[in-house]
Amino acid sequence: MTISGHSPDSSPGRPDETPDTETTLQEMVLESQDIAGFLTDLAVMAASRLSAPDNLVHCGVTVIRHKRPGTVASSDAKAHALDELQNGFGDGPCLAALRSRTPLLIPDLAGERRWKPYIRAAMAQGVASILAVPLDLAGEAEAVLNVYSGRSRGFSADDISTVEAFGGQAAGALRLVLRITQLSEARNDLATALQSRTVIDMAIGAIMAENRCSRDKAFSILTKASSTRNIKLREVAASVIASISGEKQIKTYFDE
């Protein structure tokens, strides 16, 4: 990837040795309960690895959903506030990087002429330089890693290379998390559909037995009651079963 901006000075004081990023990300995938949890761990990890005693770095992750940017995760409250600030303006370096899918460096906000209202607001919050790296999620979603420093030229050439490599590895892990989440959601949707079908079928059977009618007639009675009462078909079916057996929780054979 290519950074848009000027070459910054080196930042001293950052430790040279860090744990293997790929291994750490794999562990995060296994341990995360959801996407938000994974992204929070990702933001904390990025901020920790880029921070130095004389250069505290804040990191956030912005995701575009339904064409609107939202702060999904952050390393700390400061990062969250900075991401929300930019989202509120609707434009800025991080959103520009996300939309163009190109990394963007603002080495010194004092000399930046784009996004003037946002830049003034960010400087008022103590930000002096910003680095934004989009995460390539292969069409799964759109996300960008936003890194903020209170120092002018707060990101060295090594930092930029680190964030680019980190972003590439993180994107691969995030794609995996997204797919796992989608499979889990699909499984939950199927379980819900099966449970609803079971409840409705049981209610139809009860109506057939009580009224000595066909399945079609029983289903018609059930749907008419749903329409008349303006409540969901499954809820009407559950009330029918509850009135006969007293059962309020109907389990399917697919329940764990």
Q: What's the pLDDT score for residue 253?
A: 47
Q: 188 falls in which pLDDT band (50, 70, 90)?
A: low
Mean pLDDT (the chain) is: 76
Look at residue 144 in the predicted model and tell me its pLDDT: 87
Give this prediction's pTM. Answer: 0.59
The number of distinct structural domains making up the chain is 2
More confident residue, 199 or 137: 199
What phi and psi values does residue 236 have, to the nearest 5 degrees? -65, -45
| Together in a domain, 168 and 224 | no
Same domain, 131 and 95: yes
Average pLDDT over residues 13-31: 50
Residue 99's contacts (CB-CB under 8 Å, 6 or more residues apart) are: none
Q: Which two tokens stand for residue 207?
A: 């109506």
Average pLDDT estimate for 87-116: 91
Considering only residues 166 and 151, tell me which one the structure prediction assigns the higher pLDDT: 151
Same domain assignment for residues 77 and 195: no
User: Is residue 37 in some structural domain?
Assistant: yes
* 16 belongs to a structural domain: no
> Do 74 and 59 contact (CB within 8 A), yes or no?
yes
Asked if 177 and 201 sit in the same domain, the reply is no
Domain shared by 43 and 143, yes or no = yes
Q: Which structural domain range is residue 200 located in?
A: 191-245
Asked if residue 169 and residue 93 are part of one domain, the reply reads yes
Alpha carbon 43 to chain centroid, angstroms: 12
For residues 29, 178, 148 and 45, what is the CA-based torsion angle, rounded to 10 degrees?
A: 0
Residues 44 and 94 in one domain: yes
pLDDT at res. 114: 94
**CATH number of the domain to which 217 belongs:** 1.10.10.10
Band of the pLDDT at 63, cuts 50, 70, 90?
Answer: confident
Could you tell me if residue 73 is inside a domain? yes
Residues 67 and 127 in one domain: yes
Q: How far is CA 33 from CA 68, 100, 117, 194, 214, in A?
A: 24, 31, 38, 25, 47
64 plus 125 within the same structural domain: yes
Mean pLDDT lowest for which of 12-16, 91-95, 115-119, 245-249?
A: 12-16
Residue 1 lies in a domain: no
